[in-house]
A and B are shown apart, each in its own frame.
Chain A
Amino acid sequence: MSRAPFAPSDEVDAVVIGTGAGGAPLLARLASAGLSVVALEAGRALDPARDYARDEEAQGFLFWNDERLSAGRDPVAFGRNNSGTGVGGSTLHYTAYTVRAQPADLRLKTEFGVGEDWPFDYATLEPYYDEVEATVGVSGPSPYPWGPPRTPYPLKPLPLNGAAQLMQRGCDALGLRTSPAANAALSGSYSSDGTVFRPACHACGFCQAGCATGAKGSADVTWLPLARAAGAEIRPECFATGFERDAAGRITAVVYRTPAGEERQRCRAVFLCAGAIETPRLLLLGGLANGSGQVGRNFMAHTGIQVWGQFDDFVRPFKGIPGGLISEDTHRPADADFAGGYLLQSIGVMPVTYASQVARGRKLWGPQLRAHMRGYNNTAGINILGDCLPDAGNYLELSDEPDARGLPKPRVHFTMGENERRMTDHADRLMRRIWEAAGARDIWSFPRNAHIIGTARMGTDPERSVVDPDGKAHDVPNLYVSDNSTFPSALGANPALTIMALALRTADRFLAKRGA
């Protein structure tokens, strides 16, 4: 077996760009199969126990803070909302809400005549869901109340915090089913094959600001130790900027910048796992894999409207897993006037995040702002995670404004369509009823669109998609994409679990063809 460290002049079997949900599982799989693999990560390698403060502002280094330009009628917020940096990528700050897509999510076009179908069905993803849940350690209810029967979760659900109890109260009153949600944070100490032993979650609530204990199933404590043990090399602070290709169009090396200067790593294959902004940005910069003209197109963001209220009860919303409770009764609502559906999620919140949303959403200032914030400890929220249809008017392009590296900043256009607006209105009405039934006062809504999806979509038709169902670029023989940019449709589910499942499948497909 080839093992790290490798020299840039060594022709390694594969270079993986990005170590988040798309890159890390794949890196572990390729290394375990005996391949020589190098991962390039733009961010730093940090030690959570030593380097992570339990403080939102101090943890700002976890976010991808290179400026992106947000355009369209519903500009999408980036930074802390959507993308991360560091060895482990966005999994370092994901909430660990690891819900599965439902089978119908992959057949939106068949069911409704809009959007896109995925090029394979739920049964294709299912074994990978099982594997990811076992490896990262998902705590969840067994049996799961919605969808087809599934393998029991490896750990029992996490305890409910105040926001989860309140949502349960409101949903009970309206006759909506709820359940403790599936979260990749450990309800008991745990290890799975080859992964390090990790402690139980101690309910600090800082998932979105980085887990300092290792209880959350981020890539740095799960897939990446597996990958290293199998011989992979992970290089932090390496920002990929381009590719070298031979006359046949094959990529022969990845060009990247380090603090010490520019390097190039020779390789036989490349896996681009940089997320739905940086992946298409890099492809557009290099004029690569874009015979379809679809690179950067079909940008989607989940409908994610939040409804907040203040209660007589003390919530202390900083405690516990933030997304403690779920309802999927709204996956296909009987009274829907839209395609697809959404899930409901209780939300706890840290004070700076909440204050920021009050500023942007309520426009409160002065004594009103201060008075509202003094109700922080009695605040709880519900939000949705809803499907989003691909639209030709929503896309990423390179702007003519250079960033600190001298590369063009990406500009992302996003405007909610009629389907997203109807779904948001439906959810707004329902969540307000839930909060009224639970006894909330001063109920207010914060419309938002979260997660970044779909800018290098997969499909069988090279005219309409960037990669094939295995994740391989239609136009480049040895380039694969593994991240949320390949999703043909947004799914009514938080993306991280599906990104990880898809990453394992892409690795398996690559290995199968390589062995053939």
Chain B
Amino acid sequence: MHCNMRGDRASVDKDTTATTAPGTGTATAGLRDHRYPDGTFAALIATPFVTAPTRAALQARMDKPPVIEPRFLAAGEFALLGAVCDHLLGETGERRIDVPGAIDARLAAGTTDGWRYDALPDDGSAMKRGLAGIDETARLMAGAPFADLAAADRERVIAAVAAGDPPGETWRGLPARTFFEDLLAAATESFYAHPLAQEEIGYAGYADARGWQAIGLDEREPREPEPVAAAFATSEGRP
């Protein structure tokens, strides 16, 4: 296995970070935490609950070695993309889901997801210019390239780009808010497509070769594990 989720489980279970964006929510969040036990995916993938094409697709994703030499981005751009993805995805462990490698591979292949904002240039140009913009903003706001910044400064830079008005000449020709939305969406999609990220959120939907019979509220089938975070399981087992 070439990648893993970070292992600081105890601290995450106490995570009460408000996930409510200003003005959009009605209550605190971080309430639910339904990660599945380590090894859930490895155990389920071998069972008849997973169809052959599903097993092939997911196992290939698990086994894919991390990209070392980018094919589209320059080495420096690729390292910067890695630092940005780490921050966006909260990846702090030694081994990570290879989101930057997946993004570089897609740019190298020239495949798109079917559309882009007309306000942005083509995906490859947008990525190169946006990364340059992030580094420029980092130098202007914190005096060093993004990858050299501590977490708090990285957060200030990312927040400025996300808000759409970061300092830097680069952004005169590239709408920062729109670029950031696309980058965050691409990174998030790639991350949660990985079986181990899906294990973290308690997803077992790939194990459906025989379908689901228990589909209603608070219903669980035997092949779906108990969540690890039992302290949160207030409603499990309710009639």
Chain A residues close to B by CB (< 8 Å): 50-58, 60, 63-71, 75-80, 83, 159-162, 165-166, 201-206, 212, 310, 312-316, 318-320, 350-352, 355-356, 358-360, 362-378, 404, 411, 432, 436, 440-445
Contacts and interface: CB of A to CB of B under 8 A. Distances in A.
Interface of B: 12, 15, 17-21, 24-35, 50-51, 53-54, 56-58, 61, 87-90, 110-119, 155, 158, 162, 180-181, 184-185, 187-189, 191-193, 198, 200-203, 205-206, 208-220, 224, 227, 234-236, 238
A352 B192 contact: yes
Given A56-B193, A374-B32, A375-B29, A203 B19 contact: no
A64 B115 CA distance: 9
A442 B215 contact: no
Nearest to B112: A67
A440 B33 CA distance: 16
A465 B7 CA distance: 62
Contact of B188 (A80, A350, A369): A369
Nearest to B185: A359
Contacts of B187: 359
A370 B35 CA distance: 11
A366 B89 contact: yes
Q: Which 3 A-B pairs have the closest CB atoms?
A: A202-B211, A79-B114, A318-B205
B32 A364 contact: no
A69 B118 contact: yes
Nearest to A413: B118
B21 A362 contact: yes
A366 B88 contact: yes
A315 B34 contact: no
Contact of A364 (B21, B34, B212): B21
A366 to B, nearest CB: 4
Contact of A375 (B33, B54, B119, B217): B33
Contacts of A63: 113-114
A432 B226 CA distance: 30
Contacts of B116: 67-70
Nearest to A164: B216
A76 B115 CA distance: 9
Given A351-B203, A360-B181, A365 B88 contact: yes
A375 B31 contact: yes
Nearest to A201: B211
Contact of A371 (B19, B205, B224): B19
Contacts of B18: 368
Given A75-B118, A203-B213, A355 B220 contact: no
Contacts of A166: 217
Contact of A378 (B34, B110, B192): B34
Contacts of A310: 29, 31-32
26 contacts: A57-B57, A57-B61, A57-B189, A69-B117, A70-B116, A160-B215, A205-B212, A212-B51, A314-B235, A316-B219, A316-B224, A318-B203, A351-B201, A352-B193, A366-B87, A366-B89, A369-B188, A371-B17, A372-B30, A374-B30, A376-B201, A377-B32, A377-B227, A378-B31, A378-B34, A440-B26
